[in-house]
Structure 1
């Protein structure tokens, strides 16, 4: 990357765009427009007093994601500048796992995840999803109404991931609650981080004493020789990254499907695959809206902005999707229509196929069980959970004809 001394204009910044405000959750696009008005890299706050650069232009994002010499994933220099009670630390604090590592350490951690998830056969993962859907439909089906966020998408991920990680269904609510608090980055973020950390520590402690046919046990026995502490933080990452964004992917897709009756009918009739709806969300309403966090190793000029060292540089996948959609709507087709929801470069998501399978199977199975789902509210009246990192519905109320799992004609 070409660097040079900053000129006077490079130091001039607008007031930071406050991504922690309540208004951001309901209308993030106004905030993205404010950021883009500053150029390819805007100036924002992730929490009160926690500034960050936010990349809103595709070329700049790709340059950042591929430039491992200029930028690092290690947050420790930044972490030393942040108050201990900062609500975003739960999502950004350094831990010895693949997300916060560079170079050889990153390759080592990443290889263990790829190898471990490769042991999960697609038919096995599909069966786990089907089982979880059956459990949840058994709870909500007879009522004829449900919240597809609180009663389906989020508990579904807790059931599936607990099953993969060797924990009983009874622990699902505990996992879901802890992750929800941590992800929102609000007043309860530290409590959620502590609860989730305790959850993972108990899990690894149990697996260290007695192995099972599950992901933590495979990580503990991987030839890379991870220590129990390293396995703990690999599991901390994969449980969090698997549960929360995938739950949002499912609920965001369902809200878009149900908000368009014609679209919904093509899916339930089989004329159009559910995969189309899931990919549409990844293009236009990505569930992990702002993350991919990097830190400049040294001060550097980057796409017209002087980047200070030890200040977060965030990729706004939500903004990239927003501006790509604007180009399509206005008749200007982007040069590259592919989305970056899986990130790019050496830190791109290593388990995207597993995520897609879980999301598509969950939606397909749900609509087979309950084919006449009808939204209670128009999509414009739905509300969104606060937090700078995600695009996550608060609830998705629906009604349908009551149905029970033992009723004739339901899926097996």
Structure 2
């Protein structure tokens, strides 16, 4: 199914760039260069036989994200054209939540998310991150070595988000495994989607039976009166979108920091804030590399490409970041808003401040405990997980002076100033 779409004779589709290949994970930039050579909008496969347009140009992306009359985020017309076992459906199938809704339904769903997260105080979120980091460092700190992906970034995000949504730390491993499988979009994607769905359903059932001081309970009790099914899909979206990209944001930031000894020393000495490193990843190596799928409401010409209705149009935040880093390699504007990791327009990320806070606090706390982290491998030898959607490390092995966390770590100079 999902044959190549019909197109105007004035537009000829190039051979699709296969974003599902193993080579894409190893060297996405060669694939982005091929896509960019096709123009602002390229032609790709997200999975074998599943085609999509890919936007690699910032101006084209902004035009699409702000044009709700020409473009929809509802994938249901497209879903009818793909095989039921397509491995990327776990990431792209329609659900009754803010990501896949247009118009008034989108406004309603987004309002509930904004209101629920507004009740999470920054100091409370910071404490949750610190508790999770301290717990994990207590496990691997005495060993003098660790994998900062599987032993730190991923389990830490599962612990933080479980606490926010109302589940205990003991469930964190299950959440992490299910989301990892679904995001990769490969042979195990369907199993990951099923397991993650069970996870969310069990959470909703527990909170319907007994409310708590958590995001799930706030969504259930919101004045806009979401149905239990709508709450389920809101949690499905936000728990997954919070965990997976944030875990990759942390590990990508750590890999960039540790891969540059001079850069690392400026962070640990306090002469440069950790947030700079986090924002650098969002700008140049965003963890959610290709997503934000839209669909043309009618067949149309758009930035030199003939778009067929009901065919996915994916935004390549990764390609835009890569070309920005090449074009502005000597520029340093760590606090600007030029990156597009949060999207734009009505569907821009509603909780970007908490995401940045979590990643920044996680890296700060880890480097307070273990200030002499030493990467085992140079960055160019690290391996990356397959999948068309993310930029995600398999592992980030490090060595350090063994330490047992038995007291609060002393903050670096800039961190002490931040707390004043």
TM-score, normalised to structure 1, is 0.96
Residues 238-282 of structure 1 show CA distances to partners (whole Å, capped at 9, x for unaligned) of 000000000000000000000011111110111110000000001
Superposed CA deviations along residues 366-410 of structure 1, whole A, max 9, x for unmatched, are 000001000000000000000000000000000000001126866
| Aligned pairs (5 A) from 1:13-412 | 13-329=13-329, 338-406=338-406
The answer to whether the Cα contact below 8 Å between 1:324 and 1:337 also exists between their aligned partners in 2 is no
C-alpha distance after superposition, 1:214-250 (max 9, x if no partner): 0000000000000000000000000000000000000
SS in structure 2 at match of 1:386 = coil
The CA deviation string for residues 330-388 of structure 1, in whole angstroms up to 9 with x for no partner, is: 89x9xx97010000000000000000000000000000000100000000000000000
Matches of 2:342 and 2:407, distance apart in 1: 39
Deviation at 1:7, TM superposition (A): 5.5
Change (3 A) 1:168 1:306: same
Cα distance in 2 for partners of 1:337, 1:195 equals 36
Give the superposition deviation at 1:322.
1.1
SS of the aligned residue for 1:199 comes to helix
Query: In structure 1, what is the equivalent of residue 414 of structure 2?
Result: none
Alignment partner of 2:288: what SS? coil
Cα distance in 2 between the residues matched to 1:79 and 1:7: 23
SS at match of 1:340: coil
CA deviation after TM superposition for structure 1 residue 329, in Å: 3.5
TM-score (norm 2): 0.94
Query: For 1:319, what is the secondary structure of its paired residue?
Result: helix
- Report if aligned partners of 2:369, 2:409 keep a CA contact under 8 Å in 1: no
1:3 counterpart residue number: none
Deviates more, 1:209-218 or 1:322-331: 322-331
Separation in structure 2 between the aligned mates of residue 397 and residue 158 of structure 1, nearest angstrom: 20
Instruction: Give 5+ residue unaligned stretches, structure 1.
Output: 1-5
SS in 1 for 2:256: helix
CA contact under 8 A between 2:219 and 2:231: conserved in structure 1?
yes
Q: Which runs of 4+ in 1 moved over 6 A?
A: none
State the SS of the aligned residue for 1:133. helix
SS in 2 for 1:74: coil
Distance 1:330 1:128, change over 3 A: closer
Structure 2 distance, partners of 1:397, 1:409, is 22
Is the 2:43–2:54 contact (alpha carbons within 8 Å) kept by the matching residues of 1?
yes
The alpha carbon displacement at 1:68 in A equals: 0.4
Q: Is 1:136–1:156's contact at 8 Å kept on the other side of the alignment?
A: yes
- 2 CA distance for matches of 1:293 and 1:409? 43
SS across alignment from 1:9: coil
Question: What are the ranges of 5 or more consecutive residues in structure 2 without an aligned counterpart?
Answer: 1-6, 412-420
Partner of 2:328: helix, strand, or coil?
helix
Q: How far apart, CA to CA, are the structure 1 residues paired with 2:409 and 2:178?
A: 37
Name the residue aligned to 2:9: 8
CA distance in 2, matches of 1:409, 1:76: 51
| Deviation, structure 1 residue 47 | 0.1
> Matches of 1:201 and 1:214 in 2, distance apart?
16
Change (3 A) 1:90 1:345: same
- In structure 1, distance between residues paired with 2:94 and 2:337: 33
The structural deviation recorded for 1:168 is 0.6
- Count, aligned residues: 402
Deviations, residues 185-208 of structure 1 (Å, cap 9, x unaligned)? 000000000000000000001101
1:8 CA drift (Å): 2.6
Task: Name the SS of the counterpart of 1:291 in structure 2.
Answer: strand
Q: Distance in 2 between matches of 1:328 and 1:234?
A: 38
CA contact (8 A) 2:368 2:409 kept: no
* Change in 2 beyond 3 A, CA 1:201/1:34: same
CA distance in 2, matches of 1:408, 1:63: 48
Cα-Cα RMSD: 1.4
